[in-house]
Structure 1
Amino acid sequence: MSDANRHYVLAAGGTGGHLIPAFALAVELERRGHHVALITDARGADIPGKPDFLPAHVLPAGRFGKNPMTWFAGVKAVLEGRRMALRLFETFEPSAVVGFGGYPALPALLAATSAGIPSIVHEQNAVLGRVNRLLAGRVQAIATAYPEVKRLKPKYYPKEHLVGNPVRAEVLALRDEPFPPFTDDGLLRVLVTGGSQGARVLSDVVPDGLAMLQPALRSRLQVTQQCRPEDIDAVRERYRSHDIPAELGTYFEDMNTRLADAHLFIGRAGASTIAELTAVGRPAILVPLPIATDDHQHFNTREVVKAGGARSIRQANFTPTQVAKQIQAMAQRPETLATAAHASWNCGRPKAASDLADLVTGFGGSELMDVIRVGGNNARGASQGEMVGQGAATRDEMS
């Protein structure tokens, strides 16, 4: 197999948070002339947005909950998935396997280790996930989306590469567009979403919070809000009673266009959400999901909040009064909101897909290519070297 035309396997759990960056990497690798295959679960195989060129292989992957009685079945499923992945590797011959977290990634990465195939994991959140923690000692590189990642042991710092979180091409295309004009008497367009299923707390709190704004700001509101199907009628009535114009829906296919038009975002703090907000440069009021594993959504907010691009409110403190207070502070003057937008934009990592692809393609080259790489980044292994160093910033380089 030539170095210009290699095979790579991407393994990811079946949620958008895991698959969106996997799809972005697949597109970049395919653009470079490589062949890519996906290992996921049944949800991931059917998720919207999967590139047409990307074949999906569904493997069993056990889940390991709090009840030890379920662990035997989980281990059995993982071992079966590992056997199936090894058979796939025999025919597909990947140069490297890339995991994006979630239990479906586990069998593929275990198979890569046993087959002697280089493996990399990408962590989208600011806390290393369970599967990535389990595999950190086995993989050759750990790609991260944030400068500081909790639950990553210091002994693995030499494997760490800050690349960012790849986002959809249609969102990334908005990065060079200017922040929408916002004047003392112009509209204030607010976009409210709670992830793929909406969030009830946003439906309960945001309309009343917007209604508490000072009249000069309230009269200029134009709201777009995603709601759960069971909540939408009540939310519509609440906005109507407050005399606030609002467009509601359970799903917006043109979310990138709505993000482009928005002056302010209110919503959850998932990794993909923050990556898109910072890619485009939009101020935000973020409400981390309180039941997120290891409280990772709270830690996802820290970089952009510290930079001044967002405000973070714990759900227990997310009241109409607090919403009004934060919006009033952010939008009281046009320059205040524009400054927050620029701070958010500065936190974006628009080359994430390219930098991750550079890291991935640094593995599995010919012997001559490996010799060329040695020396430039020797602390991270001879199989990475200078080629990796060109794209991905390491913890040592950031200090």
Structure 2
Amino acid sequence: MTARRHFVLAAGGTGGHMVPAHALAAELMARGHGVALITDARGARIPGLFQGVETHLLPAGRLSGGPIGWLKAWRNIRAGRAMARTIYGKARPDAVIGFGGYPALPAVLAAFKAGIPAAVHEQNAVLGRVNRLLARKVAAIATSYPDVQRLPARYADKVTLVGNPVRAEVAALRDEPFPVLDADGVFRVLVTGGSQGASVLSEVVPDGLGMLPVALRRRLQVTQQCRPEDIDAVRAKYAELGIPADLATYLPDLPERLAWSHLVIARAGASTIAELTEAGRPAILVPLPGATDDHQSVNVREMVAAGAARSIAQARFTPVELAKQMQKLALEPGALENAARRARGCGRPDAVRDLADLVEQLAGGTVRTDKDETTDMTQTSGADV
């Protein structure tokens, strides 16, 4: 039996960082371990996550804005690192795990300074900026894709592919069949822009659905997440088209909505991809063009190559193009069911278990890699960064 350990998880900013950290926290607590969270104000505001978990807020310096912005960021990082060291001094964790986002940087830097084993988890198919800064000194790098860009080959011996953990409610969908879709039955479409919403979906999707053949359009039932400033216009457009639509700025029951959806139209964030492949749902994905290192365009490649999703660059995401792609999926016999099966084939259902195993080994002194080797954790501490 594994001894009880205490872990600090550091994540911030968006749901893409917070959701996998939340899933790991739940798994570790189910195993009898103690968990604390370090995040920022934005991360703490995301509803439904880390309930009952000890939470600490750190100032997070964003590395942008030129020399003045960098100086301000470094001051915030130093302040956050000092706060994290105070936290560790009161209750020394057995390991610290960073999930990206700027609050993870001072938290993991403080772990280096205190000689506490540290690891990072990368959700995207491109190693994120914070994780790139930490990769040299962490003991383990957990990845969600077999091929991660901007991850130097010299770190291969401490990389383990685990996948991207999802919430338990989404993981449970893996055992559920694809919803029955009769030739004249209701065709349920879920539209979501992730934790930040997406105005382009509000602008394009209603008009695109309105261009579908009448027989298909009359079968539609839409659930769509909208930004607050877009929701009234979107509601009016669907009413004009006569398409039943349930609109909200936040979908607290997203796993339930995902369960009965036949097609998802969404951004290509890491958590969205993980949920689609866990539940086995076909998708039309619109990568965010301004994403750092264009990582969303890279995230979609595995699903697209498998035939599980279609990717449309935002510059080409027009009502006409959306209607064309939807008809190919909706009107070709078996196309949606085949895409759903292929989506499930891209999933990594043991992600949270494998990540929890990895961090337990980290806290225990050794860590398993994909090559079935071990790395001595006593080498993870060092001079300040």
Instruction: Please give the TM-score of this superposition, normalised by the length of structure 1.
Output: 0.90
Residue 359 of structure 1 is matched in structure 2 by 358
Structure number with higher relative contact order (C-alpha < 8 Å, ≥ 6 residues apart) = 2
Residue 170 of structure 2 is matched in structure 1 by 171
Residue 277 of structure 2 is matched in structure 1 by 278
Q: Deviations over 1:166-211 (max 9, x none)?
A: 1111111111010000121211111111123421111111111112
Shift of the 171–378 alpha-carbon distance from structure 1 to 2, 3 Å rule, reads closer
Residue 341 of structure 2 is matched in structure 1 by 342
Does structure 1 residue 247 correspond to structure 2 residue 241?
no
Equivalences for 1:1-399 in 2 at 5 Å?
A: 4-365=3-364, 379-383=373-377
Q: Contact 2:158–2:369 at 8 Å: present in 1 too?
A: no
State the AA in 2 paired with 1:381: T
Shift of the 286–14 alpha-carbon distance from structure 1 to 2, 3 Å rule, reads same
C-alpha displacement of 1:224 = 1.4
Helix, strand or coil at the partner of 2:334: helix
Q: How far apart, in 2, do the equivalents of 1:251 and 1:87 lie?
A: 36
Tell me the percent identity: 62
Shift of the 349–375 alpha-carbon distance from structure 1 to 2, 3 Å rule, reads closer
Q: How far apart, in 1, do the equivalents of 2:93 and 2:261 lie?
A: 42
Q: How far apart, in 1, do the equivalents of 2:323 and 2:151 lie?
A: 37
Q: Contact 2:160–2:370 at 8 Å: present in 1 too?
A: no
C-alpha displacement of 1:289 = 0.7
Q: Contact 2:13–2:102 at 8 Å: present in 1 too?
A: no
Give aligned pairs, total: 378
CA RMSD of aligned residues (A): 2.0
Shift of the 113–179 alpha-carbon distance from structure 1 to 2, 3 Å rule, reads same
Helix, strand or coil at the partner of 1:364: helix
Helix, strand or coil at the partner of 2:160: strand
Helix, strand or coil at the partner of 1:248: strand
Helix, strand or coil at the partner of 1:341: helix
Q: Contact 2:84–2:110 at 8 Å: present in 1 too?
A: yes
Q: How far apart, in 2, do the equivalents of 1:137 and 1:6 lie?
A: 25
Q: Contact 1:375–1:382 at 8 Å: present in 2 too?
A: no
Which deviates more, 154-163 or 59-68?
59-68
Instruction: Please give the TM-score of this superposition, normalised by the length of structure 2.
Output: 0.93
Residue 393 of structure 1 is matched in structure 2 by none
Q: Contact 1:167–1:275 at 8 Å: present in 2 too?
A: yes
Q: Contact 1:374–1:382 at 8 Å: present in 2 too?
A: no
Unaligned runs of 5+ in 2: 379-385
Unaligned runs of 5+ in 1: 385-399
C-alpha displacement of 1:140 = 0.6
